Structure 1
Amino acid sequence: MKLKVKAAPKTSSYAESVFGQLDHLIRTRPSTKTLAAEACIMFLNNKTLSWLESKDTQEQQELMKKASKGVKNLRDKKEVLNQIPDDKSVFNFTKTKEGTKSRKNLTVEELITNLKMLVRQSIVRDNLDESDKHVLVGKRVKHRFDTNGEDQWYTGKVISQVPAFPEWFNIVYDEDRAVYTYHHQMMI
């Protein structure tokens, strides 16, 4: 047990410090978003500016170019995270009994149905124009899987890139309706 907690901090002062910074940000900027507050706190605590200033000018410019290229991915992730389901009741764990104000727990089947509905609604349709699509999207692929020491080949079609994760692709295999997601390195 001692080995498991050896790396744990002895006090909670760091966590309290971070929450103090968050409290200060919320009080001074009440309309700030959580993501912006998190970025500000990380910037201050990681001493990013002093680290960046310690680099030579050419390396600073390269780092800034890399960071600005990642902005589109951050915006896409933000868009995915801010999606609101059509029916907010799918988040409920209980429901109102008919004719009363009391509530009863949803059954496991109802919870599973709600979860499936959320997953269905979270799929973002690939609405990019042809010039923005990755070269693999729309292509037929063939994958080899090792099953009990035997190679099995499956063919399918790359249907889209995963929103906000440009290195991941959705594939539908022939004779299977499920959508599978793979990292591009696994597809080579």
Structure 2
Amino acid sequence: MKLKVKAAPKTSSYAESVFGQLDHLIRTRPSTKTLAAEACIMFLNNKTLSWLESKDTQEQQELMKKASKGVKNLRDKKEVLNQIPDDKSVFNFTKTKEGTKSRKNLTVEELITNLKMLVRQSIVRDNLDESDKHVLVGKRVKHRFDTNGEDQLYTGKVISQVPAFPEWFNIVYDEDRAVYTYHHQMMI
């Protein structure tokens, strides 16, 4: 038993301190969002400002630029996560049995179908800022697929990166209007 609790803090003073800071923020700024309050508390407790001031000017600017790009990525992720599908039943893991009130789990195939519906409905936007585009965007690619035991080459064009997921790319193949999404490691 002693081994299990060895890493646990001896007192709860740190947790009480954090909750005190949160209480103060909520009282002084009642309309603040939880994420903003959390960021403020982390900024204070991690001594981020003193750490940033210890860096030289050029490194400070690089860190701030990197953080600014990270905000855009977070906003894109938030936009993707806040999307509401046309059919909200795609979020269900169970369905009602016919003629009864009891529920049964969806099959793996039904869950996969629901996931595919969500992906189809997700927003695919082109990045308007040319400097932020990945080098693969706009390039022609060839993919080799094993079809019925036979290798086939498919040629297409990388049209964009998936918003909020920088390692995923959208590709349109020649003679096919569908948009396919691949992780960049699968494209090597």
Does TM-score exceed 0.5, indicating one fold?
yes
Q: Residues 170 and 179 of structure 2 are in contact (CA less than 8 Å); yes or no, is this contact kept in structure 1?
A: yes
> In structure 1, what is the Cα distance between the partners aligned to 2:152 and 2:8?
46
CA change 1:16–1:115 in 2 (3 A) is farther
What residue in structure 2 maps to residue 121 of structure 1?
Answer: 121
Cα deviation for residue 52 of structure 1 reads: 1.3
Q: CA deviation at 1:45?
A: 3.2
Instruction: Describe the SS at the equivalent of 1:172.
Output: strand
- Counterparts in 2 of 1:86 and 1:125: CA distance versus 1, 3 Å: farther
Match of 1:4? Answer: 4
Q: In 1, are the aligned partners of 2:127 and 2:160 still within 8 Å (CA)?
A: no
Q: 1:60 to 1:105 in 2, by over 3 A?
A: closer
**Cα distance in 2 for residues equivalent to 1:185 and 1:3:** 42
Give the deviation of 1:117 after TM superposition. Answer: 1.6
Question: What's 2:173 paired with?
Answer: 173
Alpha-carbon distance, 1:65 to partner: 3.6
Which moves more between the two structures, 9-18 or 114-123? 9-18
Cα–Cα, structure 1 residues 168 and 22, in superposed 2: closer, same or farther, change >3 Å?
Answer: farther
Corresponding position of 2:35:
35
SS at match of 1:136: coil
Structure 2 counterpart SS, 1:166: strand
Deviations 1:19-78 (A, max 9, x none): 776676567656444433442343233221111122344543443344334432232222
How many residues matched?
188
Report the CA distance between 1:157 and its aligned residue.
1.7
Deviation at 1:110, TM superposition (A): 2.6
Distance 1:151 1:39 in 2: 51
CA gap of 1:174–1:27, structure 2 versus 1, over 3 A, is farther
Q: Distance in 1 between the 2:5 and 2:146 partners? A: 39
- Tell me the SS of whatever aligns to 2:169: strand
Rounded to whole Å, the distance in 2 between the matches of 1:13 and 1:179 is 53
Report the alpha carbon displacement of residue 158 of structure 1 after superposing the two structures with TM: 0.8
How far apart, CA to CA, are the structure 2 residues paired with 1:103 and 1:185?
A: 40
Q: Work out whether residues 138 and 160 of structure 2, in 8 Å CA contact, stay in contact via their aligned partners in 1.
A: yes
C-alpha change, 1:107 and 1:151, in structure 2 (3 Å) is: closer
SS in 2 for 1:70: helix
Distance 2:168 2:112 in 1: 26
Secondary structure of 2:125's counterpart equals: coil
Q: Is this contact kept in 1: 2:93–2:111, CA < 8 A? A: yes
Partners in 2 of 1:4 and 1:175 — Cα distance?
A: 61
Q: Return the TM-score normalized by structure 1.
A: 0.61
Q: How far, CA to CA, are the matches of 1:145 and 1:3 in structure 2?
A: 52
Aligned identity (percent) is: 99
**Maintained 8 Å contact 2:154/2:173:** yes
Q: Which TM-score applies when normalising by structure 2?
A: 0.61
What is the rounded CA distance, in whole Å, between the counterparts of 2:46 and 2:143 in structure 1? 42
| Distance 1:2-1:123 versus aligned 2 partners, 3 A rule | farther
